[in-house]
């Protein structure tokens, strides 16, 4: 199984040591597996570095991840000390030898730490798709957020399994849809909605809004803004406000209110995106879904619901997550039946790797924001059944007209 934990001190060459390493990590000379491990370690080290002033064991985590990267590179290649590794995190990941010759151009361009040693938007947006447990069992997983060390499919599985503990298919769909449509809000508001609907939030459920998704005004009040697309709190960096998921493209400039207690406002910078300007909401008593649940359940779920609504407007009948999520959409149009799996990955190479590891049970559909990945996918997996949202809608129209 690819991506299992690896201890940095396990020898890489010779005798039994090499067999142990292969048992833990897979073949040590597999370039794609090695690159995945390096990106995962880099993400964890970057997060640990940002909290080094508040977590006494953060530097231990950076050192441990340096060991993982050294093991992946081999003798004399890559960073040789923790501070060398941190310096690499302020540059493009593609400069690391393990990634220099790779095919994932998207991740090679990522920089994880900005000039102020804060996590970049690319770290949240793209590198999270590479997270996996590396370095063996660690106490750090108690204080590090799940998206820095847990695989995306595990976050999804844990969430969906919790939702499946309800009363069958109808309850599962209602609970999953609730998370997508209500990823954040006031504690009172969310509690009332949960009581009214009877849905079951997952174990990691709703938590405090992260500090870097809140703005503190001069009067001491905190404010947050829901993304116009996914409704999760947008990230706040100085006076710039934007969703951590880059395809939700709007970027805003924050303006303080005239009085210290006034509500701040946003001005859209990229006027071409054509989305609404959200109003500030009070951070007092506000809650949101845990980052990993948002990133790997809510974000793709928003596209699944949007595609469903688009197909229904055409006249098709669409069922969500049939057979307890065997696939995403069951579409019936003009006597024809289509089974669809919506795949929304920022890195097409991670998508290809995951599709090879687990063959989909339905035709793969790339949503409108990801249609540019079609060529890469078809080249890498020519036998895969894949369509873009645009072409599939045309196919559904044709089926309806024929009927």
Closest CA relative to residue 144, chosen from 117, 179, 119? 119
| Cα-based distances in Å from 111 to 118, 125, 306, 346 | 11, 11, 31, 15
β-pair partners for 333? 336
Cβ-Cβ contacts under 8 Å for 265 (sequence gap 6 or more)? 254, 255, 257, 279, 280
- The 3-state DSSP class for residue 163 equals helix
pLDDT at 165: 79
**Cα 396 from Cα 233, distance rounded (Å):** 35
10-residue averages of pLDDT along the chain (403 residues): 32 36 44 90 97 94 95 89 97 92 84 95 93 84 90 92 83 94 95 88 84 91 96 94 90 85 86 76 96 95 98 98 95 96 95 93 96 96 96 97 86
- What proportions of the chain, in percent to the nearest 5, are helix, strand and coil? 45, 15, 40
Q: What pLDDT score does 108 carry?
A: 93
Q: Which domains, and CATH codes, for the chain?
A: 15-149 (no CATH), 155-292 (no CATH), 297-402 (3.40.1350)
Looking at residue 142, what is its pLDDT? Answer: 85
The residue count for the chain = 403
User: pTM for the full model?
Assistant: 0.87
Of the candidates 295, 224, 210, 231, which has an alpha carbon nearest to the alpha carbon of residue 266? 224
User: Is the separation of the CB atoms in 292 and 300 below 8 Å?
Assistant: no
**Residue 33 host element (H or E):** helix 31-50
Within 13 Å of residue 190, how many CA atoms lie on the same side as its CB?
22
Structure tokens at 347: 């890195």
For residues 252 and 267, what is the distance between their CA atoms, to the nearest angstrom? 5
Measured between alpha carbons, how far is residue 108 from residues 30, 32, 256, 285 in Å?
18, 13, 37, 39
Give the pLDDT score at 9.
Answer: 29
């Amino acid at each position: 199984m690819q991506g299992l934990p690896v201890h940095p001190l396990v020898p890489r060459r010779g005798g039994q040591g090499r067999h142990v390493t292969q048992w833990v990590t897979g073949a040590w000379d597999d370039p794609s597996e090695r690159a995945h491990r390096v990106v995962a370690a880099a993400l964890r080290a970057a997060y640990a570095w940002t909290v080094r002033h508040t977590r006494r064991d953060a530097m231990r985590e950076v050192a441990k991840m340096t060991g993982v990267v050294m093991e992946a590179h081999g003798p004399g290649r890559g960073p040789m000390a923790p501070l060398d590794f941190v310096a690499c995190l302020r540059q493009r990941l593609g400069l690391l030898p393990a990634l220099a010759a790779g095919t994932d151009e998207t991740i090679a361009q990522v920089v994880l730490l900005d000039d102020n040693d804060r996590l970049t938007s690319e770290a949240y947006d793209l590198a999270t798709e590479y997270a996996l447990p590396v370095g063996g069992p660690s106490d750090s997983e108690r204080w590090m957020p799940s998206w820095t060390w847990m695989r995306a499919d595990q976050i999804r599985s844990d969430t969906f399994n919790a939702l499946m503990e309800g009363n069958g298919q109808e309850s599962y769909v209602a609970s999953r849809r609730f998370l997508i449509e209500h990823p954040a809000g006031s504690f009172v508001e969310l509690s009332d909605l949960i009581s009214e609907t009877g849905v079951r939030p997952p174990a990691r459920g709703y938590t405090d809004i992260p500090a870097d998704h809140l703005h503190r005004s001069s009067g001491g009040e905190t404010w947050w803004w829901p993304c116009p697309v996914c409704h999760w709190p947008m990230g706040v960096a100085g006076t710039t406000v934007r969703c951590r998921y880059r395809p939700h493209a709007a970027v805003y400039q924050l303006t303080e209110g005239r009085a210290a207690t006034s509500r701040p406002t946003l001005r859209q910078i990229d006027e071409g995106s054509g989305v609404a300007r959200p109003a500030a909401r009070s951070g007092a008593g506000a809650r949101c879904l845990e980052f990993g649940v948002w990133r790997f359940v809510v974000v793709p779920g928003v596209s699944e619901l949007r595609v469903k609504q688009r197909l229904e407007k055409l006249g098709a009948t669409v069922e969500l997550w049939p057979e307890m999520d065997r696939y995403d959409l069951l579409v019936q149009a003009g006597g024809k039946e289509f089974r669809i799996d919506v795949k929304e990955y920022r890195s097409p190479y991670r998508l290809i790797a995951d599709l090879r590891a687990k063959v989909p049970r339905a035709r793969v559909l790339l949503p409108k924001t990801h249609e540019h990945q079609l060529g890469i996918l078809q080249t890498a997996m020519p036998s895969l059944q894949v369509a873009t949202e645009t072409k599939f809608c045309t196919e559904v129209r044709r089926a309806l007209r024929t009927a």
